[in-house]
Structures are given as C-alpha cells and as structure tokens.
A and B are shown apart, each in its own frame.
Chain A
Amino acid sequence: MKTVEVVVLIILILALALLITVGFEHIMPSTAVRPPAEFYLYATYNPYKLREYTVMSPEAVTAIVWDFRGLDTLFETSVFYLALIAGLALTRRLLSERAEKPGHGLSLIVKTVTRITAPMIIVVGASIALHGHLTPGGGFQGGSVIAVLPMVIIVVFSVSFLIMRGFTTSKMIIMRSLGLFGIGLTAIALFLVSLIQGTHAYVFQNMIKPDAQTSMPIYIAGALISGTLWFFNLFEMFAVAAGFSIAFIVLMLARTLQVEER
C-alpha cells in the first residue's frame, strides 16, 4: 500500500511539474488589458482630459464599485441588511439578551492579549475602510475586519460579557441603520443640493457630468477624498461592522441556549 501511495504522489508531482512547464504560456494571464478595463483605468483618475467622466480616485476597484456601478453596490448592501433582518425575525423572542453575570471565558493570558490587540483590530479596519479610495480595500472589507473584534470577544470572554458592555443587537441594528441612512443620504446629497440651488443633478452623482455641473468636494483640507467614495466607505464600514456583529451575537446566543438545554 505504501509503495502505491509514494508512486501516486511522485506521479502527481511530476504531472504538476509538466503542467507548469508546458502550460506556462497558457496559465499566465496576458498582460494586454481588455477595452472596458482600459476605459476604466483611463477614466478613474483623469482630471486633465476626462474631467466630466472621472471619479478622481486612484483606486480603480473602489471607483467602479461605488461610482461607475454604485447602484448595484447599494442594492448589495440592502440585500445584506434584509438577510440580517430575516435572521433577527426568525429568532425573535427565542433569544433573550439578559445582562447576567459573564461566563468564565478563556484564561487570563488570552484575555490580556485580546485587550492589547483589540484597538489594533479597529485601527486596521478603519485604515482599510477610510483609505478605500487610495489603496485596495473599502468599506465592506474594513467593516469585516472590525467585525472580527466582537467575534474574538465572544470567543475569549463570553456573549454575556459583550451584552453587558452594551453591545446588544438592538443597539447594533441602530448603528447599522445609521450607516445605511448615511449611504442613502450620500447617494442623494448632490441631488438635494442642486434642488435647492435650482440646477439639476443625478442621483448617485459624484463628480461633474456634461449636463450636471454640481460636484462633491474632491479634497477636504488638502486630503484627497474622491467625493462620495470616502463617505460611502465610512458609512459602509459602520453598517457592515454592526451587521456582522449582529450575526455573531445571534449565532452565539443560540449556541449558548443549546448548551443550556442540554
């Protein structure tokens, strides 16, 4: 049996080596950019020649996600929100979030290390989200990183520790709703401004368009914020962090209930 295993392993390795050697030309993606990608790369940060189509953001992915196809992303966010609402509606009245004394949790060593690393997690998440228009990342990614913190706290301390500190699902849903409200407000901000001014602008407009000359601020205090992108990333970070926290709290409450019933 052992010789068969060794022979199979050797054949696998040789086949992989052959594949990489022979198929190298085909595995490697071509360096040529397709026409749509070329347009987006050309238009993402181009204040010189494409002032009326550019997003003024050096990061092409965020520019596409929050500007070129911003409406899609808005609906993605609402789908996530609806899924959370459905989860909460399913478990309503089943799980009571009573503030009792916290569970034992893990040992003192792990708790201390968690206390040290907790601010680091928040800082990393916030930097991913707030630099989303400059570097890879964005609101969803930053919010997911921040949502790691309640998960770690639930595992290391306990669910009731988190709830006693005030992180109940109702508060999280308020934060989530505020984040969504901010996203919606950012989407129609220019429209409202131009309504007051008597001009016209599009919903989900960021920079100036050929027939709508109002624009979001490109710089704030000298820092590039790329108009709506920074605000979208900020609010999305809050919404996603709160949303994932709700999911974790509900799941772990259900788990503790299961353990208690046993």
Chain B
Amino acid sequence: MISVLETPIILRVIGSALLCLGAFAALVSAIGFHRFKNFYLRLHAATIGSIWGSVYPLVGSAILAITVEELGVYRWFVAGASIVAAFIVLILAPAGSHALARGVHKAKVARVKPCIADKLDPELCG
C-alpha cells in the first residue's frame, strides 16, 4: 500500500496546479477590474482576486510545503500557517466586500448601471 506522503509527486502537481489557478484568478480579476462598468461589478472582480487569488495559492503552498522533506518538522508549521491564513481570508474577504457593497448601496453612493433589476432600491437602477 502506498501512502500519500510517499508519492509527493502527486501532491506537488496538485499544489502547483492550485498556485497556477491562483495566478489565473489574479489575471481574471485584473481584467475584470479594468473592464467592468460599475462599482458593484468591479468589487466582484476585486473579490475574485482576493479570494480565489489568495485562498487557492495558500492551500497550494501548504500542500507543496508538506512534500518538502528537507524542512523536517517545520513543514507542518508552514502548512498549518498557510491553511489557517487561507481559512481567515476565506471568511474575512467575502464579509468585507459584502459590508462594502451593502454600505455603498444603502448610502446610495454608487448607481447600478447598466441595470436590469434592483429589488433592494429601484431608485438606484439605471
């Protein structure tokens, strides 16, 4: 029976793939941030960068750190810190962007344009 840790090549591929996914998300986020028309859509693009673009790479680096035997027992510290950081980003970034969007919409600062429907506040539509 082959344990997962004895075949680090699979873990390395998974970790690298997650890192590349993070880089791709950062690119998508940058393009969206540049191209989207109104505040809420741009916030959505920024959130792609801050959640995709940091949670996946952090998990990926945790998996990569586990495979590096030279680090000894410290690889578990690196991996644990990465996982904790990923978890914190995963819960904090959506809450932050949610609070930002909600606050801006409630204060009627940014209009929803182009708009199909705005059920919360029809005045802001269009």
Closest chain A residue, CB of each to CB of B102: A107
Q: Are B91 and A116 in contact (CB under 8 A)?
A: yes
Among B92, B94, B103: residue with most chain A CB under 10 A: B92
A88 to B103, CA, bound (A): 31
Task: Flag whether B113 is at the interface (Cβ < 8 A).
Answer: no
- On whether the beta carbons of A110 and B88 are closer than 8 Å, the reply is no
Tally inter-chain residue pairs, CB-CB below 8 A. 23
Interface size of B by Cβ–Cβ distance < 8 Å? Answer: 9
Q: Tell me if A120 counts as interface (CB < 8 A to partner B).
A: yes
- Is A73's beta carbon under 8 Å from chain B? no
Is A109 an interface position by the 8 A CB rule? yes
| Contact present for B99 and A107 (CB under 8 Å) | yes
Q: How far, in whole Å, are A117 and B96 apart by their CA atoms in the complex?
A: 13
Q: Check if B35 is an interface residue, CB within 8 A of chain A.
A: no
B88 in complex: contacting residue of A107, A120, A156, CB < 8 Å: A120
Interface string of B77-102 (1 = CB under 8 A from A): 00000000000100110110011001
Q: What class of interface size applies to chain A in its complex with B?
A: 10 to 19
**A contact residues around B98 at 8 Å (CB):** 107, 109-110
Residues of A contacting B102 in the complex (Cβ-Cβ under 8 angstroms): 106-107
Contacting pair B99 A106 (CB below 8 A):
yes
Q: Is A22 in the interface zone, CB < 8 Å from B? A: no
Q: Which residues of chain B are within 8 angstroms of A120 by Cβ–Cβ distance? A: 88
B99 touches A117 (CB 8 A): no
* Bound complex: CA A75 to CA B114 (Å): 59
Minimal beta-carbon separation of B112 from chain A (angstroms): 18
Residue numbers in B under 8 Å from A114 (CB-CB):
95
- A117 CA / B84 CA spacing, docked (Å): 12
Which residues of chain B have C-beta atoms less than 8 A from A117's C-beta?
88, 91-92
Contact pattern, B 93-126, Cβ under 8 Å of A = 1, otherwise 0: 0110011001100000000000000000000000
In addition to A106-B102, A109-B98, A117-B92, 18 A-B residue pairs with Cβ atoms within 8 Å of each other are A106-B99, A106-B103, A107-B98, A107-B99, A107-B102, A109-B95, A109-B99, A110-B95, A110-B98, A110-B99, A113-B91, A113-B95, A114-B95, A116-B91, A117-B88, A117-B91, A120-B88, A156-B99
